[in-house]
Structure 1
Amino acid sequence: MFRRDPLQAARRELEAVLGGDVRPALPLLRLALRRGGVVGAARGGRVAVVGVGGVPEDGVFELASVTKPFTAALAGALVREGRLAWEAPLARLGGPFRGLPDFLTPRALATHTAGLPPHPARAALTTFTRFQDPYGGMDAPAALASARRWASRRGAGRFVYSNLGVGVLALALAHAAGEEVSAAGYGRALARYVTGPLGVPGVGLTPPARGLVAPTATLLGEGGVTGFGPLAGAGGLFGTAGELLAFGEAHLDGRAGKHWREVSQPPGLPPHLHGAAPGWFVRGGVWWHGGVARGTRTALAFAPQSGAVVTLLVRGGVPLLGARGGVEAAALELLAASSPLRAPAT
């Protein structure tokens, strides 16, 4: 007997939602999902979520850097509440943020243009000595001290992707929301202002006792979840495909605010990007973000013109060799099926 192709079985469900031919995306999806995962699409009130390779459709994954759009959504909510201003230096928040350079603003941190390096300096070592938890030896004061020390006025305004920057932003958002300056404080603020109001309360910093999709082991790790320490706002959330689709839809219907529409083209932007918005990358009318944990990978993308959202959550983490962007590429090719330029499948 021939084994049924799970992606061919899912094809009709995805096409019914996206309204176009998903066959061009199947080779990339098959490669991304070779160890199993979940693919989902939503559009106009219709949703399709399909588990592949024995992974349940409601499996919980590490969201890794897909956390960053949630952090940006929290910033947007606090701006709307009058607790924060996009262009105001974090130093104006006072307390532990006093003394930070004036070019460290919420917008600059959310768009990776704050003149900060990708990681705290110690991560050059802990990436190998603490592979599963490279930031775990730090606390919030140490993260802020790192930002204070390594912020470059010369680099401010130039795009440099920075976990340190978004992690520091999340700590500032906790403070602005009246919470303690910690990952836990960020989590409470996120629940109050974002995940609760948007109807995705299952997204959070603590993995569930059951339902977590076990990450794959690597040469440097044992397959446990990835720790982000005080920089949890850059990559520490957990969630399901259905929750990510709902979060994406909240951007399209306005419930998540309009911050994501504020797109800039800073110098240093990689050539495959057309712009950066708070929490998002932009290319060809698509807003997206990907994430690479130690044993899982994620992607979330939406297209305002078509009203479609897609997500991809897969087992198999950071590659030691080769390109990192295969999961994002698969999600973007799938989203292209919602384009009015792609004909429906026959």
Structure 2
Amino acid sequence: MDDAELTALLAELADRYRVPGAQLVVHRSGRAVRAVVGETAVGSGRRVAPATVFPLSSLTKPFTAALAVTLAVEGDIDLDAPLAEQLPHAPAAPGITPRRLLSHTAGLAANPAEDDPYLDSLERWAARSARRFPLVAEPGSAFSYSNIGYLLTGRLVEQATGMSWAEAMEVMLLRPLGLPTGIGGPPGVLGHVVRRTDGRAVLAEHQPAPPAEAPAGDLALSAEGLAAFAGQFLHDARPGPLDPEAVAAMCRDPLDPDAAGPYGMADGWGLGWARYDGDGPESFGHDGTGDGTSCHLRFDPVGGTVVALTTNADTGQELWGALLAALRARGVKVADHLVTGPAGLGPSAPAPDTCLGRYVNGDLDYTVGRDGGGLWLGVGPHGRYAVECDAGLRFALRPRSGGPFVHRGRFLRAPGGPAADGQIRHLQVSGRVARRHDL
């Protein structure tokens, strides 16, 4: 496969999913092929170039993890000591450690409060708000995806280096990799939402995140930049800014076998990297979706394959799935994990009444109820989803108005072990755990 064939494939998929612009890099057998198609914004006439940077959103997290693990290798951070012993104003639970922050197993809520007045700086936020939310699960007992954990990591980086998170990112990681500074500021592309009624891509409203949230989602890079970063984690990688010990630590899943893993998001999780087992060799990576953008990265460290995709439409997630299938047909394989649909569910079975109730994760508020239409799950003010459950209390959600399954989740009696009374204590959906509110 050469650049021309890859460009033709990407152009066909971008047209099918109405993605205005995209970049793709595939590294295999020591050779990279590249494709760039489309515009930075619909009708702008500005072509996407190989160096155009796309907002990475949550794909920023592996970069923040690499900073923290590098500092740990140098002795500036202790990954396994209580966070409260290393960072003033940190949550006091002794089980919260930097390693658990990076692997989303610290039991923290998913997001800071949207109206938090202290999100203008990491230092102010950590001092005033870091202890705001109660734990959603006991540290180490369950995977629960948490932006808050990465804000705390960013503040820990600042304290260890004496630099801002952005300065440390540029000096310690981006510059040594030869990557342009892509932190904050206006994005190189504009995001789009593809309307389901007529298939038109329209500009999405760009809502800049507060400065304190930068470590969880503020980087912007090209697909070339993503592939260069992933190249540090291949077994035949050339020497780079990441110590081999840091590389190994990031690709090691620290979750206890008896704990609740990242169901509905991945097959496992290291420090910053998700682990994927399905449809290919064991691979690692991360996804990032923002205001009308969708970026994806996978790498097989043993086989040396890297696939990096950037898009400026919310349908980039669908394009990604079709792309992986097309690449597999051409012999390029990395593993992935389906995040939508009923995959992995057994035969449908009625959920017990013990599942009904309210579940809370910080500002995320879920309600599970039953009516004439069957079991439903409500997400705050955003309406209700129909719930199809199996005997193992795993479920898939679909809009009550009809349409395809959109998310997967499960009810948990107790992360880390069975509850003595058999009571349902947690809900896990899209990798986020919510604690039963009425117990």
The TM-score range, normalised by the shorter chain, is 0.7 to 0.9
Counterparts of 1:340 and 1:109 in 2: how far apart (Å)? 26
CA positional deviation for 1:332: 4.5
Amino acid at match of 1:243: G
Counterparts of 2:17 and 2:284 in 1: how far apart (Å)? 20
* 1:248 matched residue in structure 2: 230
Matched, 1:41 2:26: yes
CA positional deviation for 1:271: 4.6
Q: Are the aligned partners of 1:116 and 1:165 in contact in 2 as well (CA < 8 Å)? A: yes
1:318-337 alignment to 2 at 5 Å? 325-326=317-318, 328-330=320-322, 332-333=324-325, 336=328, 337=331
Q: Are the aligned partners of 1:228 and 1:235 in contact in 2 as well (CA < 8 Å)? A: no
Structure 1 residues not aligned, in runs of 5+: 1-7, 15-21, 127-133, 180-184, 342-346
* 2:183 matched residue in structure 1: 205
Aligned-partner SS, 2:108: coil
TM-score by length of 1: 0.75
* RMSD over equivalenced CA pairs, Å: 3.4
| Higher normalized contact order (CA 8 Å, seq sep 6+, divided by chain length) | 1
Counterparts of 1:231 and 1:269 in 2: how far apart (Å)? 22
Counterparts of 1:207 and 1:106 in 2: how far apart (Å)? 28
- Cα shift readout 1:153-192 (whole Å, capped 9, x = no counterpart): 743221111111112211111111222xxxxx00111122
Counterparts of 1:334 and 1:46 in 2: how far apart (Å)? 19
Q: For the structure 1 residues 174 and 117, does the alpha-carbon distance in structure 2 shift closer, same or farther, using more than 3 Å as the test? A: same
Q: Are the aligned partners of 2:120 and 2:210 in contact in 1 as well (CA < 8 Å)? A: no
Q: Are the aligned partners of 2:101 and 2:150 in contact in 1 as well (CA < 8 Å)? A: yes
Counterparts of 1:334 and 1:264 in 2: how far apart (Å)? 33
Q: For the structure 1 residues 212 and 26, does the alpha-carbon distance in structure 2 shift closer, same or farther, using more than 3 Å as the test? A: closer
* 1:167 matched residue in structure 2: 151
CA positional deviation for 1:240: 1.1
- Cα shift readout 1:21-65 (whole Å, capped 9, x = no counterpart): x97x99866655632211111234422221122322221110111
Structure 2 residues not aligned, in runs of 5+: 40-47, 196-201, 336-439
Counterparts of 2:183 and 2:64 in 1: how far apart (Å)? 12
Amino acid at match of 1:192: V
In the alignment, which of 111, 120, 132 is matched to residue 103 of structure 2? Answer: 111
Matched, 1:263 2:253: yes
Range 265-274 or range 103-112, more displaced: 265-274
- Cα shift readout 1:174-226 (whole Å, capped 9, x = no counterpart): 111222xxxxx0011112222222332x1431347xx8112236999854363
Amino acid at match of 2:144: V
- Sequence identity, in percent? 28
Structure (1/2) with the larger helix percentage:
1
Matched, 1:230 2:212: yes
TM-score by length of 2: 0.60
* 1:300 matched residue in structure 2: 297
Q: Are the aligned partners of 1:297 and 1:327 in contact in 2 as well (CA < 8 Å)? A: no
1:133-212 alignment to 2 at 5 Å? 138-140=120-122, 141-143=124-126, 145-152=128-135, 154-157=137-140, 158-179=142-163, 185-200=164-179, 202-207=180-185, 212=188
* 1:338 matched residue in structure 2: 332
How many pairs are equivalent? 302
* 1:182 matched residue in structure 2: none
Matched, 1:52 2:37: yes
Q: For the structure 1 residues 37 and 13, does the alpha-carbon distance in structure 2 shift closer, same or farther, using more than 3 Å as the test? A: closer
1:122-133 alignment to 2 at 5 Å? 122-123=113-114
Structure (1 or 2) with the larger CA radius of gyration: 2
Amino acid at match of 2:156: A
* 1:68 matched residue in structure 2: 61
Point out 4+ residue stretches in structure 1 off by more than 6 angstroms. 25-29, 217-221
